[in-house]
């Protein structure tokens, strides 16, 4: 470990490698680059102190440098013990950024890292999973008085924060970046779909064609994963608890059944629900020899690992992020990335191109809070439809794509309620 006054990272000697990866990401994030160029002139975050708790990846580094370019001070920690890219954390530290993150943290180190980012008394928070925000509320409530507002990146975190808001326990306003169309229709669908398969393949080198691939949950993430698994030749089965997404899955051409039934036929299982105990002991009891199980949700509670451990007579590592649990009776089940989000623990997370929009939304939300947040109530706010539309237009322009616009006559027709057949 290497530690300094403003950082704790695994190995500073990795900084050069991290810089090359950050440069790669930066070159593929044109929307955020355009926002940065304007922010360097306008300084919309001047005087702000931003504490961030988000996966320390090459894309996150581009967001961090954009926030600082807009005038803010930044201190950062990872939002998952197994998602930090150590070479990127090293580059951030070498460049003078405040960062406390390394791959393979235990729970105590994870929360100590969050606490370190709070030492400079942030005025804005940026979260992925709501661990930082909850830490402020539960352990350091006095800090909440100085926080203008926060942002939240992921579905699980938004659920936690909306529950806190409804209970009247939220001490400052939060913008749900996750719920923007330019986030979940792209990051969750395309990003999670591709990066989850990337993680599974890196950890197993398994051939997906012809396999029965069970996806638990058919929200945005589950839908993206299911479509990409099907595209690689897998026979995809969906499990759900909500009739509406279950019906969508049926209409999209997938088989839908209970997990109790899917457990016996699946070759690969991936949970994408945000709910605990999706895979439990009775499911492990009926799984095939060699079944592969993993999770792409934010927390590691979707797979009940204690249930699996109780059934195992032997546990050993096949390769990095691939553990074999040899069960009584001779069957073996393979657990990937210890049940943590497999797309980041076993791979590199979402492609830079899709994180461009998610992080542009994060940046714009911080700017909105800096300008208006003091007038907000302590509830969860959505990204505005105007911001969604403007960001989509910015991304299209950056990609060199032109679209049509309505004529004056069409606009008149659109607003003429008397027009009929």
Give the rounded percent of residues in the chain with a pLDDT score beyond 90: 94
pLDDT confidence of residue 252: 98
pTM, to two decimals? 0.91
**Domains and their CATH numbers in the chain:** 2-183+350-398 (3.40.50.1480), 190-345 (3.40.50.720)
Q: What is the mean pLDDT of residues 105-128?
A: 97
pLDDT confidence of residue 184: 86
Chain Cα centroid distance, residue 340 = 12
Q: What is the mean pLDDT of residues 302-316?
A: 97
Cite the beta strand spans of 47-109 per DSSP E.
Answer: 49-53, 73-77, 98-100
pLDDT confidence of residue 385: 92
Sign of CA pseudo-dihedral 150, 151, 156, 159: positive
Contacts of 232 (CB under 8 A, 6+ apart): 197, 208, 209
Q: What is the mean pLDDT of residues 398-404?
A: 94
Kindly report, residue by residue over 135-146, the tens digit of the pLDDT.
999 999 999 999
Q: Report whether 331 contacts 346 (CB < 8 A).
A: no
CA distance 158 to 135: 15
pLDDT confidence of residue 9: 98
pLDDT at residue 419 is higher than 90: no
pLDDT confidence of residue 237: 98
pLDDT confidence of residue 421: 67
Give the rounded percent of residues in the chain with a pLDDT score beyond 70: 100
DSSP letter (8 states) at residue 384: P
pLDDT confidence of residue 156: 86
pLDDT confidence of residue 354: 95
């Amino acid at each position: 470990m290497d530690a300094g006054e403003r950082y704790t990272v695994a190995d500073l000697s990795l900084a050069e490698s991290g810089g090359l990866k950050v440069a790669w990401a930066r070159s593929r994030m044109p929307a955020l680059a355009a926002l940065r160029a304007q922010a360097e002139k306008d300084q919309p975050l001047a005087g702000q102190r931003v504490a961030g708790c988000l996966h320390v990846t090459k894309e996150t580094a581009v967001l961090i440098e954009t926030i600082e370019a807009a005038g803010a001070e930044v201190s950062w920690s990872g939002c998952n013990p197994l998602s930090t890219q150590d070479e990127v954390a090293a580059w951030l530290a070498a460049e003078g950024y405040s960062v406390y993150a390394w791959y393979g943290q235990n729970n105590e180190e994870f929360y100590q890292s969050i606490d370190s980012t709070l030492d400079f008394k942030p005025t804005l928070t940026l979260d992925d999973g709501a661990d930082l925000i909850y830490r402020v509320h539960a352990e350091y409530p006095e800090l909440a008085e100085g926080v203008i507002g926060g942002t939240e990146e992921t579905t699980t975190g938004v659920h936690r924060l909306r529950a806190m808001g409804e209970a009247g326990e939220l001490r400052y306003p939060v913008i749900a970046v996750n719920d923007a169309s330019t986030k979940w229709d792209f990051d969750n669908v395309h990003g999670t779909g591709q990066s989850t398969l990337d993680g599974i393949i890196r950890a197993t080198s398994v051939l997906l064609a012809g396999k029965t691939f069970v996806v638990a949950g058919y929200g945005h993430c589950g839908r993206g994963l299911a479509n990409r698994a099907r595209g690689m030749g897998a026979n995809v089965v969906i499990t759900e608890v909500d009739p509406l997404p279950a019906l969508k899955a049926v209409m999209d051409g997938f088989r839908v059944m209970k997990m109790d039934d899917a457990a016996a036929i699946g070759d690969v299982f991936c949970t994408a629900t945000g709910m605990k105990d999706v895979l439990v002991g009775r499911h492990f009891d009926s799984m095939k020899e060699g079944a592969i199980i993993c999770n792409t949700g934010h927390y590691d509670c979707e797979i009940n690992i204690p249930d699996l451990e109780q059934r195992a007579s032997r546990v050993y590592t096949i390769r990095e992020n691939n553990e074999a649990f040899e069960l009584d009776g001779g069957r073996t089940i393979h657990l990937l990335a210890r049940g943590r989000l497999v797309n980041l623990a076993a791979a590199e997370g979402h492609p830079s191109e899709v994180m461009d929009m998610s992080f542009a939304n994060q940046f714009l939300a911080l700017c909105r809070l800096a300008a208006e947040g003091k007038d907000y109530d302590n509830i969860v706010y959505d990204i505005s439809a105007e911001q969604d539309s403007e960001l989509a237009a910015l991304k299209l322009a950056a990609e060199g794509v032109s679209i049509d616009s309505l004529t004056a006559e069409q606009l008149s027709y659109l607003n003429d309620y008397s027009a009929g057949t």
